[in-house]
Amino acid sequence: MYGRSGNPTWDAFEAALGALEGGVAVAFSSGLAAISTVLAGLAEGATVVVPGDAYAGTRRLVLEAGARGRLKVRTVDVADTDATVAACAGADLLWLESPTNPLMAIADLEPVIAGAHESACPVVVDNTFATPLLQRPLDAGADLVVHSVTKFLAGHSDVVLGAVVTRDEEERGRLAAHRTLHGAVPGPMEVFLALRGLRTLAVRLERSQATAGLLARRLAEHPAVEVVRYPGLTGHPGHDIAARQMKGFGGVLAFDVVGGAVAADAVCGAVGLIVPSTSLGGVETQIERRNRWEGEESTPASLLRLSVGLEHVEDLWSDLSQALNRTT
């Protein structure tokens, strides 16, 4: 009828993503459009519980709504199940990420979601890092899943796209109506590319996380590295939970380098194969010092986020280690 209300390319992508997550999906023009649509469903003065280390865009959106008095905001450490559940008392929405971006904290999804529901607090999980192949939040009881399709799902750093998934047909209708009325519509070409990307998600993720696991172990031994944040490492505080609730530990890790922001920036400047860039989930390995951005003040200054792509592990290690060796 009219391109803002729907088209067959969206239908094909939404059917595929819905099947992967175990619900019905609505595609949006970006991850943030998906996130803001979910938040728009909250009543004036509603209380939202968000991870203190959530994706910076989510935090800014929620905090801005808080500053304008539209929402009340409570921040929590989602790795602390009791504190997170306690914060849901009297709240209208719990926002979760697991792993969080970029601190890689793990939330124990089932007990946290069940605890929130005891307070009649609906739960949204941003599943961008894990993708439905590694964890399905709707199965763990979540009410909504959001994605930055820009990242692993599309997988080639060539589109900006988002999605929301629900099990509730009425909710799907409300989300789609909001998309139409507010114009948060994805371009059909972008959605076509995301659908094509989805077809290789399983093999991309398999390679990416195998390499991420190896790099995490080697980085942990490197004298220029203070700490490696990857749930696949047995020393990670969320390792046991992640091992239980995820089918794999994913393709993103973070590590803090010795020598603060200056040393971390030097590493980003010294890599050759690895691409310094702010996105993640592409076929190329991407590195970034997150703390350089506004809204990332709570991220350690020397933390580098590494999104592991599909290059050969030894090529990546020789690039990373030569860059690190220059700083020590």
Ligand X SMILES: *Cc1c(COP(=O)(O)O)cnc(C)c1O
**Which residues belong to the active site?**
4, 55, 126, 151
Nearest CB to ligand X, comparing residues 30 and 135 = 30
Q: Based on the shown chain and the rule CB under 6 A, indicate whether residue 296 belongs to the binding site for ligand X.
A: no
Query: Tokens for 293?
Result: 């951005």
Q: Based on the shown chain and the rule CB under 6 A, indicate whether residue 263 belongs to the binding site for ligand X.
A: no
Residue 50 beta carbon to ligand X: minimum distance, rounded to whole angstroms? 12
Q: Which residues within the stretch 123-142 sit at the binding site for ligand X (CB under 6 A)?
A: 126, 128
Residue window 54-93: x/- pattern of binding to ligand X, with contact defined by CB under 6 A? -x-x------------------------------------
Query: Tokens for 76?
Result: 């929590």
Strand order in the sheet with 93-97: 24-28, 162-166, 144-148, 123-126, 93-97, 46-51, 71-76
Number of H helices, E strands in the chain: 12, 12
**Which sign, positive or negative, has the C-alpha torsion 177, 130, 110, 229?**
negative
Q: Which of 26, 32, 78, 304 binds ligand X (CB under 6 A)?
A: 32
Cβ atoms within 10 A of the Cβ of 163, count? 29
Task: Name the residue among 184, 207, 185, 195 with its Cα closest to residue 154.
Answer: 195
Cβ atoms within 10 A of the Cβ of 103, count? 22
Residue 151 beta carbon to ligand X: minimum distance, rounded to whole angstroms? 6
Tell me the window of 11-19, 30-38, 239-247, 288-296 that interacts with ligand X (CB under 6 A).
Answer: 30-38
In the complex, which residue's CB is closest to ligand X? 31
Angle between the N-to-C axes of helices 56-67 and 31-40, in degrees from 0 to 180, rounded to the nearest 10: 30
Q: Based on the shown chain and the rule CB under 6 A, indicate whether residue 151 belongs to the binding site for ligand X.
A: yes
- Residues in the site for ligand X, rule: CB under 6 A? 30-32, 55, 57, 97, 101, 126, 128, 148, 150-151, 160, 162
